[in-house]
A and B are shown apart, each in its own frame.
Chain A
Amino acid sequence: MATQMTDGHRRFLQVLMSHGIMEGSVARTLHRDCCEIHKVYYAHDKLDDFINVVNIHLQPFFMQIRKGMSEDDGRTYYALVNLAETEITKMASDYTENELELFRKTIFFFLQMDVIIISESGFASSTDILNLADQLKTKKMKKKEAEQVLQNLVQDKWLSERDGEYTLHTRCIMEMEQYILSNYQDLVRKCNICHSLAIQSQVCETCGIGMHLPCAGKYFKAQTEPHCPHCNEFWPHEIPEINRPDSQLPSSAPRERRRTPSSGTRRR
């Protein structure tokens, strides 16, 4: 039966569980190795089918292996996510209620930021977040405590940090997408190209639609005069270079972006 769990599936699940999130090529290698070790049928392009078998068995536990895209480099990632925030996961969570409140406020801050600033940022400075700690309802959090929580959140891959600035980790976005879409409907921006939640985005200043940076990179690739797909105004932002994904690794050197080689690009 094609839907049976084998030791190959179980090993894949165990390794993914210990990583939390895994880049696409790493997942494909793992798929191959697991099948090889346990002599399970392997087809190199059937990773998604392989994962579906696991997902069928994970359904009763509100867990799922999800496929997502990094907002930084556009690469595919696989993550094991919890779909339901039940009392069990809340209680067994590593964070206190107070710490979780800070985290929720941080998410809200990211979503809100975009509306006010209309920039492609999606990054918050540690000062911004520490200010949020001051506004907690239940119990104010001291600066040192908040800094520790921030460190823990980065280590557990809920936030990612680069040069002292923070954004939501791909893993977090994948796991919380439903939660964010349902609880912050009015604030969220969805990417006009792939229709998934977009925290970091480029936004059209005329009509307000937004795009993930990697999606913009792909969409506007090789266009000398990029125009908004919705209202046709000039697209006022630098188009991200996506040909060489290794030049855009998260939490490494600041993102490099080449200007589109053209004479017609105008930037406001």
Chain B
Amino acid sequence: MAQKRRTKGPGPSQGEDLAADEDFAPTPSASQVQRSLERLSPAQVDQKVSELVQYLLVKDQKKIPIKRADILKNVIKDYRSVYSEIIKRAGRTLQQVFGLQLVEIDPKHHIYILVSNLPRLEVENLKQDDCTAKLGLLTVILSFLFMKGNAAKESAVWEMLRRLRVDPGVRHEVFGDVKKLVTEEFVRQKYLEYNRIPHTDPPEFEFQWGARAAKETSKMQILRFVAKIQNKDPRAWSTQYTEAAAEEAAGGDLFQDISTPGDTGGASQGARRRTR
């Protein structure tokens, strides 16, 4: 059972699959960490915390999830014994200064992203450039997926986009290689999941929401978006509304069960229906 790493929680996390991470020695106990800390000067530890904060900010700028292995290799280095303390403090600093939360989206492989802690606004002051256009495209795809029962075949997504004059086979004036953007960039950034449908030959693929999408928006927000476009009340879609409301009620921690790609777990989010 995976546990989301909270920045306010105790230093060492329980339930980590250490076998998956050869680089990392057995998790030191809280008292061991404390003893290691005492041997280092506060300035040294502070320096490492600062370096980690800078590293996380720079890495996250490209929206590429950050691996713990890279953090250890590039930043922590000889301070492994107090890694848990360093990352705890870095998380706290990110919240206090930047309003960003360090979220572990994959507790098995220890992968992190930064998410804004600040209340989401209706209209964000976004960069008016290709970034906004890409987010618009992504929102459309996420909406489609949700309305289709949280997953849709690749072919269905392309057909939907074609109707909006965004053709994966044709170079788009704003998005360029649409197929690459959707199946590679959005997937790498964890906005979408692109999984092979088992027992299909030739292999077929389907899209689902990615871990970052689940963190940065919500089913209710997406449903409201769809409702707004179609000029209806969100309750007009009773099934989706119920699902979105349930997600809201569950509140805060949307990551009770983090599934690795392909895993059909995550039952806490309600039944996931698939259309084939």
Distance in Å from the Cβ of B177 to the closest Cβ of chain A?
15
Check B54–A10 contact: CB distance below 8 A. Answer: no
Q: Are A13 and B121 neighbours in the complex by a CB distance under 8 Å?
A: no
Contact between chains at B127 and A19 (CB < 8 Å): yes
A9-20 Cβ-contact flags toward B at 8 Å (1 or 0): 011011101110
Question: Once the chains are docked, how many angstroms separate the CA of A5 from the CA of B53?
Answer: 17
Considering only residues 112-148 of chain B, those with a C-beta below 8 Å from chain A are 116-119, 121, 125-127, 131
Residue of B nearest to A58 (CB): B97
The chain A residue with its CB closest to the CB of B58 is A92
Given A5-B97, A11-B99, A33-B125; A88-B51 close (CB under 8 Å): yes
Chain B hits for A19, CB < 8 A = 127
Residue contact A92 to B99, C-beta cutoff 8 Å: no
For B119, the chain A residues whose CB sits under 8 A away are: 7
Q: Please tell me if the beta carbons of B118 and A86 are within 8 angstroms of each other in the complex.
A: no
- B100 in the interface (beta carbon within 8 A): yes
B127→A18 contact, CB < 8 A: yes
The reply on B152 being an interface residue by CB < 8 A is: no
Please report the total number of B residues contacting A with Cβ < 8 Å. 27
Q: Is A95's CB within 8 Å of the partner chain B? A: no
CB contacts between A and B, total, < 8 Å: 62
Interface centre among B50, B99, B126 (most CB of A within 10 A): B99
> If the complex has contacts A7-B99, A11-B99, are A61 and B54 also in contact, measured as CB distance less than 8 A?
yes
* In the complex, A264 has a CB within 8 A of chain B: no
In the complex, the answer to whether A37 meets B97 with C-beta atoms within 8 Å is: no
Interface of chain A residues 1 through 45 with chain B (CB within 8 A): 5, 7, 10-11, 13-15, 17-19, 30, 33, 37
Residue of B nearest to A63 (CB): B54
* Nearest-CB residue, chain A, relative to B121: A37
Q: How far, in whole Å, are A91 and B73 apart by their CA atoms in the complex?
A: 11
Q: Is A243 located at the chain interface by the 8 A CB criterion?
A: no
A140 close to B (CB within 8 Å): no
User: Is there contact, CB below 8 Å, between A7 and B125?
Assistant: no
A14: chain B residues within 8 A (beta carbon): 98-100, 116, 118
Flag if B125 contacts A10 (CB, 8 Å). Answer: no
Question: Which B residues lie at the A interface, using CB under 8 A?
Answer: 46, 50-51, 53-55, 57-59, 61-62, 74-75, 96-100, 116-119, 121, 125-127, 131
